[in-house]
Amino acid sequence: PRKIIIDTDPGQDDAVAILLALGSPGEIEVLGITAVAGNVPLALTQKNARIVCELAGRPDIPVYAGCDRPLGRPLVTAEHVHGKTGLDGPSLPDPTMPLQEQHAVDYMIDTIRAHDAGTITLCPLGPLTNIATALQRAPGIAEKVQQIVLMGGAYFEVGNITPTAEFNIYVDPQAADIVFKSGIDIVMMPLDVTHKALVTSARNDAFRALGTPVGIAVAQMTEFFERFDKEKYGSAGAPLHDPCVTAYLIRPELFSGRHVNVEIETASELTLGMTVADWWRVTDRAPNATFIGDLDADGFFALLTERIARL
Ligand code: BDR
Ligand code: CA
């Protein structure tokens, strides 16, 4: 299985991404989970990460707290999407598993250094603050990371927090800029693909029909979180942004995209955090990311339901 570190700001869709990874031990080995401030402040994201591990029956997964604010800007959160706790919907017990003492950034650096080059994949599901901080502190890790598969950005699908920016990149554009310039092989799941991974009511019924605590909690989470997209965009259900990352690790053939140059807007107030993708190769800037644009949504939901059922 592929060794991964999940860097996350749960978030209902982050939670589903983590559950998908933990339900897929044949393909994915979760070494650790690092929390970052994003959808809600750090105190809640690290707690939510532990709630999710316990829901999955995996209190053995080490969870670390990382950066509590973006590199150069005040934190912007998304309670309007995820609710006050970040994980509104189901009522899940407070975690009893401990939070690790080590800082998430130190954990990431130590872990990458301790493993052979090309054997660890980073999976950021929130703002890129922890990853960028690790790269700044220990630039040598860049050549050891196998790949970064992240949720973030948008191009043809424009923005969800400003007219041109997707939330994860917008919250810490400076961090995103560092990551996209790191030279690490990047696969990105922008809104262009995640807005096609919609939990319709039939798909949500399938989660609930599993009848397990995890299946029911997933149904309740997506039900809560779909309000926002239904009201705002008139979409048919909750877009499962972050699970696209972990699904890609299991079944990459469900996704398609293009290897292009992606640069991050860090200066303009109007378009801050925009992921400028050179889709038509109109510049000679070297491709640095695989921009995923489409997925087999039925295949994705079949996989997700099957793996959630295993927990
Ligand atoms: C991203 O922002 C968060 O609200 C979600 O968890 C996802 O990672 C979508 O823009
Ligand atoms: Ca997230």
In the chain, % of residues over pLDDT 70: 100
Strand duo 145-151 + 186-189: pairing = parallel
Å from CA of 119 to ligand 2 middle: 24
- Say how far apart CA 200 and CA 209 lie, in whole Å: 14
pLDDT given for residue 218 in this prediction: 98
- pLDDT at residue 73 greater than cutoff 90: yes
The dihedral through the CA atoms of 196, 198, 203, 207 has a sign that is positive
Give the pLDDT confidence of 215-257 residue by residue, as tens digits.
999 999 999 988 787 777 788 888 999 999 999 999 999 999 9
Whether ipTM exceeds 0.95? yes
- Say how far apart CA 120 and CA 113 lie, in whole Å: 10
User: What is the token pair recorded at 127?
Assistant: 């703002």
- Helices 12-22 and 297-309: crossing angle in degrees, nearest 10, is 70
- Say how far apart CA 131 and CA 125 lie, in whole Å: 11
Give the pLDDT confidence of 169-213 residue by residue, as tens digits.
999 999 999 999 999 999 999 999 999 999 999 999 999 999 999
- Say how far apart CA 46 and CA 246 lie, in whole Å: 19
- 115 assigned to active site: no
Q: How distant, in Å, are the alpha carbons of 51, 56, 89, 92, 162 from that of 61?
A: 11, 10, 24, 18, 35
- In ligand 1, the atom with minimum distance to the C-alpha of 11 is 6
State whether the beta carbon of 12 lies less than 6 angstroms from ligand 1.
Answer: no
Q: Which ligand is nearest to the CA of 78?
A: 1
pLDDT given for residue 237 in this prediction: 85
Å from CA of 138 to ligand 2 middle: 25
pLDDT given for residue 230 in this prediction: 79
pLDDT given for residue 177 in this prediction: 98
Q: Which is more confident, 293 or 233?
A: 293
For residue 11, whether the previous peptide bond is cis, meaning omega lies within 30 degrees of 0, is: yes
Position 71 confidence tier, pLDDT thresholds 50, 70, 90: very high
